[in-house]
Chain A
Amino acid sequence: MFSRSHKGGVLLQQNKEPAFSRETKRFVKPDGFQYIEGRKPAKEGETLPPQEIIDIAKQAQIVDERDGVFLWRKLQDGLEGQKLLTVLGDALDDEPYVSSQMNPMVFYPEQAAAGLRLAAQALGTEKMAFVVYREIFDLRKPLPKQIGNIPVWALKGRYPSEIYLNLDLAAESPFPIGVCALIHLSRAVYENRVQTTCFLTVAGNCVATPSNYEVTVGMTASQIFDRSGLADDPTRIIAGGPMTGVCITDPDTFRVGPTTRALLALRENERDQHFSCIGCGRCIDACPVGISPYHLYHNIKKGRYYQLDRYHVQRCIGCGACSYVCPARLELSYLIFEAKKQKYIQGEGGSEQ
């Protein structure tokens, strides 16, 4: 009874349409393609040894869009670990507006399935599945139940759903890889292509045609907005999802990379409202990892950094659920995650990604 539950999180209105059901648009520079030199593309159905797949991923410079780590490094780590893993094609787009993993998975099903099979081969396992987020209610067409004979698991629960990947599926030893990285892996193996593009969602209430784009890495945000069209002047442009993304001030110099999952152009007339904490405790209920943002916030505000360990600051994942629910509009998640970074990540020389 007294063990703290992990059933926190927040239910968000997803706003994924119309971007999700529109076909992925390609916006690639004509000279943007590169090929792996001195290698013949593999044939369909050919079995490759694990080390070769990892080498191809290395030559193709594929980056996992979930966390910005090189795919070959992840696969190498997974291969060296002795566990029997379940490879998961991660299409958990749980942040509102963002559908840059689900959309390519639905519109390039063969490539996604082939990529997942290759990743499973590289890790020497047979167990694989795609995972999607179930609590999305505004989709105009349903998500597929399986893709190329690979099952699609729908994870239920509130935002952030990635927490359930680690908790609910812990028995399966999950090894999540982003779907976009899998698509690039299959292109590298079967078409010899180096990853020069990335998938991202362009949405927000200022965007004229919200949809998912495949763009060349290094394009600026304003180029992409020119393509999608802006119906209004945005007051805020966000690179990434609305829960964890960062604001950008100059769209002409901001260049998209493989981990840019979305570009959102929003217009709001909301004024800054500042209240003081009334201690309603909603942040504690919302926290998916079961820590107390209320107590952490007050200790940070009073400069009592030595107290933070007692409240398990190291468990914060920076998901932003506490800030989202805070009726006083406090920047809880930012302050707590910064405090954690100062205490743990910088102390260890920035070893965590």
Chain B
Amino acid sequence: MNLTVRRAPHIRISETNRTLMVDMIISLVPLYIMAYLYYGIRALYLGVWGILVAVAADCAGVLLRREKLNVRDLSSVVTGMMVPLLLPASISYTTVAVAVLFGILVAKQPFGGVGQNIFNPTAAGIAFVTLSWPNQVLRYPTPLAELELFGDVTAQLSESPAYALKMGGVPIIDPIDMLLGNFKGPMGATYILVIAACLLYLLVRRTVRWNVAIPFLGVVAVMALLFPRANLTWAESIAYEMFSGSLFFGAVFLINDPVTSPKHRQAQILYGVLAGVLTMLYRYFGGLEQGVVFAILIVNALSATLDKFSEVLPDLITWIRRKHGEGQSQDRSQPEKTL
């Protein structure tokens, strides 16, 4: 008998980092299918290009840090898949590469690779190219337009409904078109029904938890209801604010990133609320219609602090109660028995 020794527990849940990442990939694939239907084969080429650059950059970063390559780690594939989906289908291959490289070589690897990064690599990459080439990133082709596979795109580009909203105008989108994604916008972020199904899938699989995404969406809806930006009915205002830009995509795929969000439940709810408020403030007072990635980057920086806050909160409450002469019996039970 050849017996191995391992430490307890000897049974483990069947989920690993790999299955979590595979879940993300599974939920991103339908978006690529939709992008293919609306924008042709170029969308798929952009996706493959993003993945290739991301994996190469990630391997380079790991080797530069002189660590062992982990072939089972799929996090770079997820980053590479998400970046093109947040950009227009007419985007040049160079811009995609720059976004991915910035995300991985600046926002992820210098902090220590998988699980150590403070800022979401995808959000960082998108933020970088949005600020660098706003004309290219924020001008979109019409769905079902003919797009060349390589080289400069000759199709006519124009601003998205989010831009009209930003300028104080009223965008006109048919509700059915809005659900199906048949309006101008990032190549993977407009398919509201598909993204909602992805969110449902991820929630049911418990790959993401409701603690972040639902408060985030809730706060956005409430703020859209209370402070509509143009002369809109409340239902229109909520629909346009939530679904016209990349906000809904961000709520499902960016803000739920386990690495950069807080770990405690109360902190997660607070994090989602803060991100929602910041996103809406960006929309009201910011210079660009792209707000969600900037808001996410800012709350990313706060997540460790929020965690610390929720860690001391119970102690603080106990202390205040004791100070006020109540709750002497509130001592949290401390099981002393060892198993």
* Residues of A in contact with B (beta carbons under 8 Å apart): 2-4, 10, 12, 67, 96, 160, 162-163, 166-167, 170, 233-238, 240, 242-251, 264, 266, 273-281, 284-285, 289-290, 292, 294-295, 310-311, 314-315, 317-320, 323-329, 331, 333-334, 352-353
B338 interfacial by beta-carbon distance below 8 Å: yes
With A160-B339, A162-B339 in contact, do A292 and B311 touch (Cβ < 8 Å)?
Answer: yes
Say whether A234 contacts B7, CB under 8 Å: no
With A2-B313, A275-B16 in contact, do A318 and B6 touch (Cβ < 8 Å)?
Answer: no
Say whether B263 contacts A235, CB under 8 Å: no
Residues of A within 8 A of B12 (CB): 323-324, 326, 329
Residues of B within 8 A of A278 (CB): 17, 20, 75, 114-115, 258-259
Say whether B113 contacts A276, CB under 8 Å: yes
User: What is the number of contacts between chain A and chain B, taking CB atoms within 8 Å?
Assistant: 161
Q: Which 6 A-B pairs have the closest CB atoms?
A: A281-B263, A320-B9, A280-B258, A275-B17, A247-B5, A334-B7
B64 interfacial by beta-carbon distance below 8 Å: no
Cα-based distance from A315 to B315 in the complex (angstroms): 15
Say whether B16 contacts A249, CB under 8 Å: no
Say whether A327 contacts B9, CB under 8 Å: no
Cα-based distance from A352 to B2 in the complex (angstroms): 35
Q: Most chain-B CB neighbours within 10 Å: which of A96, A285, A320, A327?
A: A327
B176 interfacial by beta-carbon distance below 8 Å: no
Contact sample, A vs B, 10 pairs, CB 8 Å cutoff: A2-B310, A238-B10, A247-B3, A273-B72, A279-B259, A279-B260, A315-B335, A318-B338, A327-B20, A328-B17
Say whether A317 contacts B335, CB under 8 Å: yes
Residues of A within 8 A of B336 (CB): 352
B268 to chain A, nearest CB (A): 8
Residues of A within 8 A of B114 (CB): 275-276, 278
Say whether B20 contacts A235, CB under 8 Å: no
For B335, the closest partner residue in chain A by CB is A166
Residues of B within 8 A of A327 (CB): 13, 15-17, 19-20
**Majority SS at the chain B contact face:** loop
Residues of A within 8 A of B20 (CB): 278, 280, 327
Cα-based distance from A329 to B70 in the complex (angstroms): 14
B231 interfacial by beta-carbon distance below 8 Å: no
Cα-based distance from A162 to B338 in the complex (angstroms): 10
Say whether B258 contacts A317, CB under 8 Å: no
Say whether B1 contacts A315, CB under 8 Å: no
Cα-based distance from A233 to B113 in the complex (angstroms): 40
Residues of B within 8 A of A234 (CB): 1, 3
Select which of B72, B263, B339 is within 8 A of A319 by beta carbon: B339
Select which of A242, A274, A275, A284 is within 8 A of B9 by beta carbon: A242
Say whether B72 contacts A323, CB under 8 Å: no
Residues of A within 8 A of B16 (CB): 273, 275, 327-329
For A285, the closest partner residue in chain B by CB is B265
Residues of B within 8 A of A170 (CB): 333
Say whether B264 contacts A292, CB under 8 Å: yes
Say whether A242 contacts B339, CB under 8 Å: no
- Among B247-268, those with CB < 8 Å from A are 258-266, 268
With A275-B72, A278-B114, A333-B8 in contact, do A163 and B335 touch (Cβ < 8 Å)?
Answer: yes
Given contacts A162-B339, A235-B3, A242-B8, 5 further A-B contacts (CB under 8 A): A167-B333, A234-B3, A244-B9, A284-B264, A290-B332
Select which of B5, B8, B311 is within 8 A of A320 by beta carbon: B8
**Majority SS at the chain A contact face:** loop
Cα-based distance from A233 to B335 in the complex (angstroms): 39
Cα-based distance from A319 to B8 in the complex (angstroms): 9
Residues of B within 8 A of A279 (CB): 115, 258-261, 263
Residues of B within 8 A of A315 (CB): 334-335
Select which of B4, B9, B262, B314 is within 8 A of A236 by beta carbon: B4
A294 to chain B, nearest CB (A): 5
Provide the B5-38 mask, 1 if CB < 8 A to any CB of A, else 0: 1111111110111111000000000000000000
Say whether B6 contacts A247, CB under 8 Å: yes
Select which of B1, B10, B72, B263 is within 8 A of A233 by beta carbon: B1
Say whether B8 contacts A245, CB under 8 Å: yes
For A338, the closest partner residue in chain B by CB is B7
Select which of A2, A235, A246 is within 8 A of B8 by beta carbon: A246
Provide the B98-134 mask, 1 if CB < 8 A to any CB of A, else 0: 0000000000000001111000000000000000000
B302 to chain A, nearest CB (A): 15
Residues of B within 8 A of A242 (CB): 8-11
Cα-based distance from A29 to B316 in the complex (angstroms): 60
Cα-based distance from A280 to B73 in the complex (angstroms): 15
Residues of A within 8 A of B6 (CB): 236, 247
Cα-based distance from A159 to B116 in the complex (angstroms): 30
Residues of A within 8 A of B307 (CB): 295
Residues of B within 8 A of A235 (CB): 2-4
Residues of A within 8 A of B338 (CB): 67, 317-318, 352-353
Cα-based distance from A79 to B4 in the complex (angstroms): 45
Residues of A within 8 A of B72 (CB): 273, 275
Cα-based distance from A245 to B5 in the complex (angstroms): 11
For A222, the closest partner residue in chain B by CB is B1
Residues of B within 8 A of A292 (CB): 263-264, 311
Say whether B335 contacts A324, CB under 8 Å: no
Cα-based distance from A264 to B7 in the complex (angstroms): 14
Q: Most chain-A CB neighbours within 10 Å: which of B12, B16, B313, B332?
A: B12
For A167, the closest partner residue in chain B by CB is B333
B337 interfacial by beta-carbon distance below 8 Å: yes
